[in-house]
A and B are shown apart, each in its own frame.
Chain A
Amino acid sequence: SQTIHQWPATLVQPVGSPLSLECTVEGTSNPNLYWYRQAAGRGLQLLFYSVGIGQISSEVPQNLSASRPQDRQFILSSKKLLLSDSGFYLCAWSVPGYSTDTQYFGPGTRLTVL
């Protein structure tokens, strides 16, 4: 069976500090991978998605970036955090080529920028 991991679970960072969130998926090959941010009252916002190693599509221009150094690893980064980067960050995966695009989510990372 497939499992998705995210870490850290919670993070408190000062404004201007760097960020690195990691997501790994087990039990599947070449998954589509996604980063979302969920802010209170604003629903799920798709930030990045990737259909393969080194292939990243950005949905929202901002000070965040994503990388996929390995098939089942997806990293979300920032060089300098803003207060507005606070939120609940979710990684998700889907089966490539599966028409429904059903996505499966990880446990999330709660980021607070002070």
Chain B
Amino acid sequence: QKEVEQDPGPLSVPEGAIVSLNCTYSNSAFQYFMWYRQYSRKGPELLMYTYSSGNKEDGRFTAQVDKSSKYISLFIRDSQPSDSATYLCAMSRGSNYKLTFGKGTLLTVNP
């Protein structure tokens, strides 16, 4: 079983839709959870990070963590064509220098 599983998609939605992106993990030692957005041919950029179970909001983005189910989600409200990118989840055990990444979900928002 892989440590982090992420549906690669592709996911195609109309503009204005609510998007749900998800990752599951198997290692209960993971304490910190991040979402990165990567546009085509660019480096990943950090969108959000959280360490506790529950929700964290930042504008149109909400990160959700359920440690009991080992499941994290990123919700995008009122999706825009500019949100079209690959979204990577990442997680760490804390203070061991390393992140474990999902393979990414390719999202396309159609105008």
- Interface residues, chain A, with chain B CB atoms under 8 Å away: 6, 32, 41-44, 46, 49, 51, 88, 90, 94, 97, 99-108, 110
Contacts and interface: CB of A to CB of B under 8 A. Distances in A.
Specify the main secondary structure of chain A where it touches its partner: strand
Nearest to A43: B103
Interface residues of B, number: 26
Interface string B1-40: 0000000100000000000000000000001101010000
Q: Which of A44, A97, A106 has the most CB of B within 10 A?
A: A44
Given A43-B103, A46-B98, A51-B97, A102 B49 contact: yes
Contact of A107 (B43, B90, B98, B103): B43
Contacts, number: 59
B88 interface: yes
Nearest to A57: B97
Interface in B83-111: 88, 90, 92, 94-99, 101-104
